[in-house]
Structure 1
């Protein structure tokens, strides 16, 4: 699946939005990728996950024991990655503000894990999720996401693979351009 194919999936599902958005990272943007919308079609989610699984190097694909994703945004793509890879899929939650496993989920000590996200922007949630996996006894082999919005400004201690890189500009609260500030802000992400 090419980058154009991925963006076509977003456009077809009306998941590529324009306006003034406050992202989960706290930054502002004139564009928002509503991954929940692109993933609401099970066949589309399956295609995207299969394409993402195919991007993983063979040595990582063959070593994976479990797929783990952070709630909320990563649950659907994480589940579909589990299906594409033939592996169990679990998710992390933040009931007390910090990611952890609940619902009877547990990681065997030394289990080889990939962390799956919908979108990575600042990498903070991804790093928190990977730390939670390591604290639970797992070894993170890679981070994967449908969309990479980091602009190349974020590094991870593990390989990072994404289906598409999108570099819409983002702004701190004190950097928002006047034309964007003139548009009422919407906060579409899962984190309040």
Structure 2
């Protein structure tokens, strides 16, 4: 599946939004990719996950771990495509951790799965948890890398779409964007802070 086909999936799902958005990272952007809308159709989610799994060919993966909330569905579908289990980290008091009886076997080869990577912060935080629990991070995979390849993760990083979409610090928002009331449609709508989307 090439990038044009992936973008067509987003457009068909009504998941390409334009306006003034506050990203999970706290940055502002005139474009938002609402992956939840793409993933709400199981057939579409499955197609995207198979395409993402193909990009991991040659990398042995024992487990997929995702940061909650946005990565859970991507991680689950990617794990299904790879034939391995899927678990997720979630924030407790602002810090990612494993809960729900999840465990990472010592030495397990782990792929981190995300919906969107902007700064890579959530992915790196998730990787810290994996390593602290004895896992070996062998790759990171996402539907959309909106960093334009600039997010430094320290492991092979694959994406179905790599976009270089404009982002701005709140104090640097251009006047035409500042004229639009900002909204935060992500998984943490009441909070702008560290994160990857």
* TM-score normalized with structure 1 length: 0.96
- The match for 2:112 among 101, 111, 115 is 115
Unaligned runs of 5+ in 2: 192-197
Residue 145 of structure 2 corresponds to: 148
Instruction: Report how far residue 151 of structure 1 moved.
Output: 2.1
1:26 aligned residue: 26
* TM-score computed with the length of structure 2 as normaliser: 0.94
Indicate the RMSD between aligned Cα atoms, in angstroms: 0.8
In structure 1, C-alpha distance between the alignment counterparts of 2:170 and 2:156, rounded to whole Å:
31
Structure 2 SS opposite 1:69: strand
Aligned residues: 189
Aligned to 1:8: 8
Deviation at 1:87, TM superposition (A): 0.4
Q: Report Cα offsets for 1:96-126 as digits up to 9, x if no partner.
A: 2111111010011111100000000001111
Shift of 1:95: 2.0
8 Å Cα contact 2:117-2:151 kept in structure 1: no
Where do 4+ consecutive residues of structure 1 move more than 4 Å? none
- Deviation of residue 190 (structure 1)? 1.3
Deviations 1:120-177 (A, max 9, x none): 0001111001011101110000011000011232212111010001111000011100
